[in-house]
Copies of this chain bind each other. A is one copy, B any other.
Amino acid sequence: MQADRVLIIGDGQMGLVLADALAFRAVPTTIWSPFPDDARTLQTTRESPRLPGFRLTDGVQVTADDAAAFANATLIISAIPTQYLRQVWARLRPSLNATADRQHPTPPIVSVTKGCEIGTGLRPTQIIAEALAMPPNHPGLCVLSGPSIAAELARRLPASLVAAAPDQTLAKRVQDLLRVPWLRIYRHDDVIGVEVAGASKNVIALAAGMIDGLGAGANAKSALLARGLAEIARLGSAMGARIDTFFGVAGVGDLAVTCFSPEGRNRTCGERLGRGEKLDDILHSMKSVVEGVPTTKSIVQLAERLHVDMPITRAVHAILFDGLSPTDAIRELMQRELKAEQVG
C-alpha cells in the first residue's frame, strides 16, 4: 500500500495534536480550517489561541482552500465540533467527491468528534454519512476516541486511544499511522458504543465540575462517575452498543479523565456553574466549544425517545436550561430513595 497523505478537517485542539503525531511519523499532513484568516495565522505563526503553548511542526500545511486541501488526501480526519459537522461536510462534499473520482480506494474518514446532534440525536459518523449521502455503517468510516485531554497530548504525554470501525483493516491502518511513542491505540469494532460513550461523558463531566465548584469532594465525584457510567451504558445498550465498550479505555477511561483532569473544558464549565457563574457568561469567555452543553440537550431527547432513565443527565439539563441550582440538584441526587444498586 502507498504511503498515506492525511487531511485533517478542523484546526481545533484535537486536529492540532493529531497533526503533531502524524508529523512525528513524517506523514505528509494538511490541516483544513473553515476560516481563511485562521488558516493564514496558523500557517504563519504555527500557534493557535485554542491550544496555548503548542507549536505546530513546520512540515504541516494549513489551508482554507477546499479543493486544494482534498487534492492528494488518502485519509481524512474529521475534527469539527458536533453541531457544525453537518454544515462543514455539506460544504466539503463536492471536494471530497472530486478526490474520490480521481483515486481508488476512496479516502476513508476518521472521526474524532465527541457529541450528539441536537434535534436528530445522531452520532458524529451518522451526521457525516448523512451529509455525504453515504450509507450508514459505511466501511470507510472510523472513530478515534479515548482519554485525550489535548493539553497533555500537546506535551506528548502518554495516552491510550481506541480506533473503532466496522472494517478492522481500517482500524489497523489508523493504529499504524499513529504509532508514536506517546500513543497506544487499541482496535475496536463497536462504533456505536465508542461514540455514545464519547458524547455522554461530557454531560457527566459537567456534573463532576459542579461537584468541584461546590467543594463536595472526590468521594461524591467518584460515586457520580460510577452512577454516570451506569446511565451512559444503559443509553448505549438501548442504542445497540455493547455494554463492555463502556468499561474500556473509550468508556470509563475517557469518563475518568474528563471528570478529573483540571484541564478539561466540560469539567471546567461545570465548576464555574457550581461556583454560581451564569452559563452564557462562561461560554462567552471560553475559546473552544464546550461539547457537553449542546450534547446534554440531545442526550435528554434521545433518552426520552428510548425510555432510558438518566437521572444525572436530566439534572444537568435542568441546571443548564431550566434554572435549577447545582446545590439543589446535588442534594436531590443524594436524597433519592435508598435502594439496591443497579448497573446497566
Q: Which residues of chain A have a CB within 8 Å of any CB of chain B? A: 146-149, 152-153, 155, 157-160, 162, 168, 175, 179, 181, 184-189, 215-223, 225-227, 229-230, 233, 244-249, 251-254, 256-257, 259-261, 263, 330, 334-336, 338-341, 343-344
Contacts and interface: CB of A to CB of B under 8 A. Distances in A.
Contacts of A341: 162, 186-188, 248-249
Given A175-B338, A218-B263, A248-B343, 18 more contacts: A147-B218, A152-B217, A157-B220, A158-B330, A159-B217, A160-B220, A160-B223, A160-B334, A184-B334, A187-B339, A219-B257, A223-B249, A225-B256, A226-B253, A230-B247, A244-B343, A247-B252, A260-B260
A296 B94 CA distance: 58
A341 B187 CA distance: 6
Nearest to A187: B340
Contacts of A222: 147, 253-254, 256-257, 260-261
Contacts of A338: 175, 179, 184-187
A219 to B, nearest CB: 4
A334 B182 CA distance: 8
B223 A157 contact: no
Contacts of A155: 217
A72 to B, nearest CB: 27
Copies of this chain in its oligomeric complex: 2
11 contacts: A149-B219, A157-B216, A157-B219, A159-B223, A160-B223, A227-B249, A245-B343, A247-B343, A248-B343, A252-B252, A260-B260
A218 B257 contact: yes
A153 B222 CA distance: 14
A136 B152 CA distance: 48
Contacts of A229: 247, 252
A133 to B, nearest CB: 31
A338 B230 CA distance: 28
B249 A260 contact: no
A50 B257 CA distance: 30
Max count, chain B CB within 10 A of own CB: residue among A168, A219, A221, A259: A219
Contacts of A179: 338
Nearest to A249: B226
A253 B217 CA distance: 13
Given A223-B146, A343-B248, A218 B254 contact: no
A226 B218 CA distance: 18
Max count, chain B CB within 10 A of own CB: residue among A158, A244, A343: A158
A31 B226 CA distance: 32
A257 B224 CA distance: 11
A166 to B, nearest CB: 14
Nearest to A147: B222
Contact of A225 (B223, B252, B343): B252
A146 B221 CA distance: 12
Contacts of A254: 222
A242 to B, nearest CB: 9
Give 10 nearest A-B pairs by CB, closest first.
A226-B253, A160-B223, A222-B257, A186-B341, A157-B217, A159-B219, A147-B222, A218-B261, A222-B256, A152-B217
Max count, chain B CB within 10 A of own CB: residue among A146, A155, A256: A256
